[in-house]
Amino acid sequence: MPVDEQAPEQTSHYGWRSRIAALAYIFVCLELGMFLLLIPWLELWERNFFAALTPPWSGLWNNLYLRGAVSGLGLINLGIALSELLAFLRRFFR
């Protein structure tokens, strides 16, 4: 292959499907993050199916460390949603 020939420029072309998929992923991460962040601190957490199913484990369900760990997972999901949103905006709206 001669040196003078250059490979055609590859343009980053993203179709509407990849945009919708990216937005859906961002939305799922955002919703999951908000759910995991807020639910452990509501009364609904204490009255769930699994806590009623195993009464000896109710102490585990009401443990503040477990609630904090679940909320921490929610914060991680919100961070993922934010980073994906910024990458989406950079990628599709240059």
**What is the per-residue pLDDT for 13?**
62
How does 10-43 read in b/e, with b if 16+ C-beta sit within 10 Å? eeeeeeeeeeeebeeebeebbebbeebbeebeee
**What is the per-residue pLDDT for 85?**
96
Q: Which helix or strand (DSSP H or E) is residue 86 part of?
A: helix 64-92
> Distance between alpha carbon 8 and the CA centroid of its chain, in Å?
37
**What is the per-residue pLDDT for 11?**
47
The span from the CA of 23 to the CA of 54, in Å, is 39
Per-residue confidence of the chain (94 residues) as pLDDT tens digits?
555 555 555 445 668 898 999 999 999 999 999 999 999 999 988 888 888 888 888 888 889 999 999 999 999 999 999 999 999 999 877 7
**What is the per-residue pLDDT for 4?**
54
**What is the per-residue pLDDT for 5?**
58
pTM of the model: 0.76
